[in-house]
Structure 1
Amino acid sequence: MTGSDATPSFRLAYVPGVTPTKWVRIWNERLPDIPLTLVGVTAGEAFAALRAGEADAGFVRLPVDGADLSAIPLYTETTVVVVPKDHVVAAVEEVTAEDLADEIVLHPLDDVLGWETPPGKPAFERPATTADAVELVAAGIGVLVVPQSLARLHHRKDLTYRTVTDAPASRVALSWPEEKTTDMVEDFIGIVRGRTVNSSRGRQGAQPQPKQDRKAAPAKKTAGKPRTPGKPAAKSGGKPNARGGAPTPKRGKPRRGR
């Protein structure tokens, strides 16, 4: 099968914590003949996957590590600390990094917050992944600070999380290779940005709409004002006779002879 005969498809990468369900649903509604394939990648693998052509576009965590990739920032996540349900932190709504000073704060190798100096006390060894760190929290080894989406992704019944008000935040963006901004990439950008199917900037909205004539049709002139029911007709120079017939013309005064 040649490249021209291949069925077109769109490959969308996404990092853990991102839920692309809404955008995939809109794609399937607007472009049902072009299948969309999801490609799960780690935050550290996302940019390499885009450069290698393993995906046409992807949901990544900023910052983008090169000028060859374009990106549209979408949203910033809340940062939370994951703790056991019986931990003292679970008794409050939110904490600061200083409140964690006496805690062992786990710092996994796939951390996405980019701490300059993580809060709390370092663990003896850094966990390989966030999933491993969550298991250590459940075992009472320490606590973990992550974006809220990752806390939900690795949810356990024996754990909970609270907002950390002054921690670094993770930003999610849509990214793709700048030199490969294809029509399908443009279509997906339009979906993510909330453009309607008839948007003039979207490829699918290129169908011109017929213009309607704004000039109203001239109103037909009537012969005269309609007569109000029960109202006598206008006088035509005489009084109506007693029998309801035509008005009797006025008689002028006789002229005197000269």
Structure 2
Amino acid sequence: MPAAFRLGAIPGATPGKWIDIWNERMPQTSLELVPLAAADQRRALRDDEVDAAIVRLPIDKDGLHVIPLYDEVPVVVCARDSHLTAADDELDAADLVGEVLIVPQDDVLGIRLPGTVAPQFDAPADTGQAIATVAAGVGIVVVPMSVARLHHRKDVEYRALRGGPLSTVALAWDAARTTPAVETFVGIVRGRTANSSRG
């Protein structure tokens, strides 16, 4: 086994449980968590910067093994004092008509909502900047729930977007570099016990 296993992770990914199991089972091989922007996830795998990665689909699967892990619901992030927070838990697209929809440059959903208004300013460089703009009382941002949690602020709230596009999080690795360490991590993610055989 190598001295380290490099696991890439896109913003919002929560691999802590798997890392804990790895550290119990593989004390001789440290796990190095490598933060990845969603735009860089394919390149990082191609260029061997990581051994495996928790990615957000879609991704070019050519030459990769990809295991879908879970789907995330999209949420609408709005200012804490927005009228949209009157909804207890979910909003419909119809609730967003007339709202300024801010789409940051690192957007992962590609969502377009009929009836929303494009902002009169350039797209923020990243989701953190977009949510800071929303916090100032300008517009809304639609992101996967884990990304909203990652950028949590006291001056914003979020509500699930009913019927919005799901975002699938997956484990991916280069098929040509399926090492024993990669196989071990895949087994952990799939819930295999330390004693179970592969299958």
TM-score range, shorter chain: over 0.9
| 2:84 corresponds to which of 79, 85, 89 | 89
- Could you report, residue by residue, the CA deviation over 1:94-127 in whole angstroms, capped at 9, with x for unpaired residues? 1111211110010111111122x34411112211
Q: Which has the larger radius of gyration?
A: 1
In structure 2, the partner of 1:10 is 5
Matched, 1:104 2:105: no
Specify every segment of 5 or more residues in structure 1 that has no aligned partner in the other structure, as ranges: 1-5, 203-258
| 1:188 corresponds to which of 176, 185, 188 | 185
Deviation at 1:64, TM superposition (A): 1.7
Deviation at 1:172, TM superposition (A): 0.2
Structure 1 runs, 4 residues or longer, greater than 6 Å off: none
The number of residue pairs the alignment matches comes to 196
Deviation at 1:7, TM superposition (A): 5.1
In structure 2, the partner of 1:178 is 175
- Could you report, residue by residue, the CA deviation over 1:141-183 in whole angstroms, capped at 9, with x for unpaired residues? 1111100101110001111100100211111000000111111
Contact 2:10-2:38 at 8 Å conserved across structures? yes
In structure 2, the partner of 1:127 is 124
TM value normalised by structure 1? 0.73
In structure 1, the partner of 2:67 is 72
1:147 partner amino acid: P
The alignment's C-alpha RMSD in Å is: 1.3
Seq. identity, %: 51
2:92 partner amino acid: T
Specify every segment of 5 or more residues in structure 2 that has no aligned partner in the other structure, as ranges: none
Of Structure 1 and Structure 2, which has the larger fraction of its residues in helix? 2
Deviation at 1:8, TM superposition (A): 2.6
